[in-house]
Amino acid sequence: MLLGIAALTVVAYASGVLMSRRQGRAWSTDRLGLWALGIAVATPTVVGDLAERARDDFVAHMGAHLAAGMLAPLLLVLAAPVTLALRTLHVTPARRLSRLLRSAPVRFIAHPITAAILSSGGLWLIYLTPIFPAMQASFLVHVLVQGHLLVAGFVFTSAVIGADPSPHPPRWLMISIVLVLSMASHAVLAKYLYAYPPSGVPIAAAQQGAQLMYYAGAAIEAVIVVIFCAQWYRAAGRGRRSPGRRRLVGPAQLERAR
């Protein structure tokens, strides 16, 4: 079933690309590739050999964590799925999606501070509470936690470097502070796991997994930092006067676009 859902998301995105082109609106094939690659990276964390080994091998577990919580979200965010949806949906569902993105609950969750707490704070909860042993004992818990990592990682990455329109976008400086603190939290957690392995995890495996978390995580974060700085630089070069970064397409814009 999980494989079917993964395949369906790729088909849905590809259908959106074709529809956009039929409407005379170009859409980069690269973004389709990023979406497909993101799904391909996330799927093995819940289906297949990696998902099975992640329940017994801490290094494999950490690899799954990095794939679902950091690498896959980065690829999916760069694919700009919300923008594609707003382009290709009919006016009524597009209005509903726009209204949903503007709603108070979504604005709260999508705020960089909230997104960072859900992403970074969730990691600390996994390893400092019974959640980690439960993941090892139950495949369902493993899938649910991996799903949380993917969604939380997507929301956080989108809040920092999202290519999609964003309601009430925050200031660049505030986002940069949140990004730095999130990176620090990830590094501190890796060092903590190196010094204090989770219960039932051999010391050698814990140290290898913590090193993978620290160095591979830092590499992915470096890519995010480069993209963020490039976006900030371009925004400053255009001399934007508004404090926001990305505007959300509203009903009026949708009507004019059609």
The DSSP secondary structure of 168-199, one letter per residue, reads: S---HHHHHHHHHHHHHHHHHHHHHHHHSPPT
| Residue 191: per-residue pLDDT | 97
Instruction: Return the pLDDT at 239.
Output: 57
Return the SS3 of 139. helix
Q: Residue 130 belongs to what H/E stretch?
A: none
Q: Render 28-53 in DSSP notation, one character per residue.
A: -HHHHHHHHHHHHHHGGGTSSHHHHH
* Domain ranges for the chain: 2-257
pTM listed for this prediction: 0.88
Sequence-distant (6+) residues with CB within 8 A of 109 are: 115, 118, 155
Length of the chain: 258
pLDDT average per 10 residues of sequence, the chain (258 residues): 91 93 87 96 94 94 96 96 90 90 90 94 94 94 96 95 74 93 97 94 96 97 96 77 46 40
Res 228: pLDDT = 95
Residue in this structure with the two tokens 């949380």, named with its chain if needed = 148
The DSSP letter of residue 167 is S
Contact 12, 39 (CB under 8 A): no
Q: Could you give the angle at the alpha carbon of 115 between the alpha carbons of 240 and 157, nearest 5°?
A: 60
Measured CA to CA, the distance from residue 216 to residue 21 in angstroms comes to 37
pLDDT score at 46: 95
